[in-house]
Amino acid sequence: MIDQLIKRKINEVKPRSVFFGIEPIGLGTSYVESLSSYISRLAIYHNVPITILLNETIGPRLESTYLTDKFAKRLAPNRYYLINGISSINREFINVLEKLTGRNDIEHLTFKNWEGIFSKNIVVKHKRWCPVCLEEWRKESKPVYEPLIWLVSDIEKCEIHYSRLKEHCHNCGKKLAFIHRHSLVGHCQYCYQWLGESESSNKKEYLSKEELFLIEYYKKLLESGSKQTSFPSKSFICLVLPQIKESLKIGRVLDFAQFLDVRYHKLIDWMKNRHIPSPEALVSICQKLDCTIDELLSLSMENDILNHKCITDQGVLRKKVTKEKVYSSLLNEIKKDKPRSLGQICNELGVTSKYVYWNYPILGKKISDKYLSFKNQQDIQVHNKIKEVLEKSLKKDEPESLIKCLDDNDISYKIAKRHHPTLCQEISTRFSNYISENKRKRLEQTQSQILKVIYELNEEGIYPSVAKITQRNPGIDPNIFRQKVFNDFRKTTAIELGYELSKRR
């Protein structure tokens, strides 16, 4: 009877999570912790190296074979930054971490829920931090962590301290990866230097109205994350734009484009749900409407657009432009040193490029041609710059990976491949040869160490077991004999020396 009771009690107990689900810092606030910071703290809390946590606990539980394969080969660290942003990687990480910690709020430590409004990733590729924030937290004995807002690529300053966010360790000068075997929140993973700095040693910078608007915009987004029950889909913008246009009583889409200060065709694309605005364009729309992102989202959800403050201001609409004004502006444009595209000029004037071609065909063509040759010139410059970077990398004594070379020079992989496929290939091949050569050297070195010990033992009539070898030379790690290549080497050498293996290990 008692046995049955105990059994029932055991069955009633909730399954225990693998990890203690420590509370993410700043949940529900604009300074919510980033997922990479949480993983680092989780490892420290459980006293395991972060790489063990990733490779042995998280890695095997990931569902995508693409990721588990990557894990088996040690996922390239420069891809880890995606876990804080929007990617299929972080969906998997979130699922696994929620299971491991028994929590259901891990998703708010990334931008994953906001993928409906972002056309691309908005997070930086390396760690970024406000040294003064870190210093203050430590002084006040508050927990040290890395908030998600520091990682938004468009935000460059801390609004609390007016200091520029740092990307390089002030001691060794290195950029820091999000996941590294020596990751420790608030410290450099290479030289272990504390990354905090006092306010007096940090230059105060000016924050423009635009910068403050941008910070406020993302703060609101992060703050509302954990309070939302549903998140916008990719069709959010095509739903909200016609409503705004109607409420502003703007009839023509061209005028609406003028009001929002975007190209006519771009606006059409958004309204027809062919594309969604870039993160920067979305900020700019909010700025034009004088609202924050969560207000814009609530507009789309509540249909309450007519009462909104931005709608009453009709003065922003420009008057219709005269033909003479168009002509003189086009003439002026031709004289400028830095040409602009006809689309951009037309957009500013509030006319279409068709209108210009119809009324001023020669002038229109001249402007287009000038811009085209300018663009070509720019393209050549980019082509040469990338070539220079790649050739320099090939001359380095120690070969580097293509990804690192491009990353260090802020060149996208796609563009580099398009301009110089052969050079890219050369760098990759050189690097992989270098790695395999290093591996071969290490292998030979270890084998000759093992061989020396086996001969010594043999002289004394001792069988070269793993225990005996490592006892004789403690510099040889016993674990290496778990690798087939070393164990086979040991065994074949023993056979050559006349030992019978069937009775021995």
Give the shortest CB-169-to-Zn ion separation in angstroms. 3
Q: Stretches 48-56, 59-67, 181-189, 300-308: which one binds Zn ion (CB under 5 A)?
A: 181-189
Give the chain's radius of gyration (CA, Å).
31
CA distance 158 to 204: 10
Tell me how far apart the terminal alpha carbons of the chain are, to the nearest angstrom. 52
Tokens of 184: 């420790």
SS3 158: strand
Give the shortest CB-174-to-Zn ion separation in angstroms. 5
If you ran DSSP here, which 8-state letter would residue 166 be given?
B
CA distance 430 to 137: 46
Kindly give, in sequence order, each residue whose CB lies less than 8 Å from that of residue 148, ignoring residues fewer than 6 positions away. Answer: 32, 33, 34, 35, 84, 109, 110, 111, 222
Place of tokens 């040290």: 144
If you ran DSSP here, which 8-state letter would residue 193 be given?
-
CA distance 240 to 243: 5
Give the shortest CB-44-to-Zn ion separation in angstroms. 18
For Zn ion, which is the closer residue by CB, 133 or 453?
A: 133
If you ran DSSP here, which 8-state letter would residue 33 be given?
B
Among 188, 289, 349, 424, binds Zn ion (CB under 5 A): 188
Q: Stretches 153-161, 233-241, 321-329, 337-345: which one binds Zn ion (CB under 5 A)?
A: 153-161
Q: Does 305 bind Zn ion (CB under 5 A)?
A: no
**Per-residue contact flags (x/-) with Zn ion for residues 229 to 268, judged by CB under 5 A:** ----------------------------------------
Nearest to 83 by CA among 116, 123, 52: 123
Are residues 155 and 212 in contact, defined by beta-carbon separation less than 8 angstroms? no
Tell me the site size for Zn ion, rule CB under 5 A: 13
Among 64, 88, 104, 171, binds Zn ion (CB under 5 A): 171
Among 76, 160, 212, 316, binds Zn ion (CB under 5 A): 160
Q: Stretches 63-71, 132-140, 199-207, 279-287: which one binds Zn ion (CB under 5 A)?
A: 132-140
For Zn ion, which is the closer residue by CB, 147 or 364?
A: 147
SS3 491: helix
Q: Does 130 bind Zn ion (CB under 5 A)?
A: yes
230 to each of 17, 107, 244, 282, how far by Cα in Å? 27, 13, 22, 19
Among 52, 72, 191, 467, binds Zn ion (CB under 5 A): 191
Q: Stretches 58-66, 130-138, 148-156, 415-423: which one binds Zn ion (CB under 5 A)?
A: 130-138
Give the shortest CB-145-to-Zn ion separation in angstroms. 13
Q: Does 161 bind Zn ion (CB under 5 A)?
A: yes
- Positions 414 through 473 that interact with Zn ion (CB under 5 A): none
Among 82, 158, 281, 356, binds Zn ion (CB under 5 A): 158
Among 169, 311, 427, 454, binds Zn ion (CB under 5 A): 169
Give the shortest CB-217-to-Zn ion separation in angstroms. 18
For Zn ion, which is the closer residue by CB, 198 or 303?
A: 198
- Determine the length of the chain: 505
Give the shortest CB-190-to-Zn ion separation in angstroms. 5
Give the shortest CB-294-to-Zn ion separation in angstroms. 23
Give the shortest CB-147-to-Zn ion separation in angstroms. 10
Dihedral (Cα; 358, 362, 368, 371), 10-degree rounding: -150
Give the shortest CB-70-to-Zn ion separation in angstroms. 27
CA distance 476 to 257: 71
CA distance 330 to 364: 8
CA distance 169 to 450: 41
Q: Stretches 6-14, 186-194, 233-241, 267-275: which one binds Zn ion (CB under 5 A)?
A: 186-194
Residues at the interface with Zn ion (CB under 5 A): 130, 132-133, 158, 160-161, 169, 171-172, 188, 190-191, 193
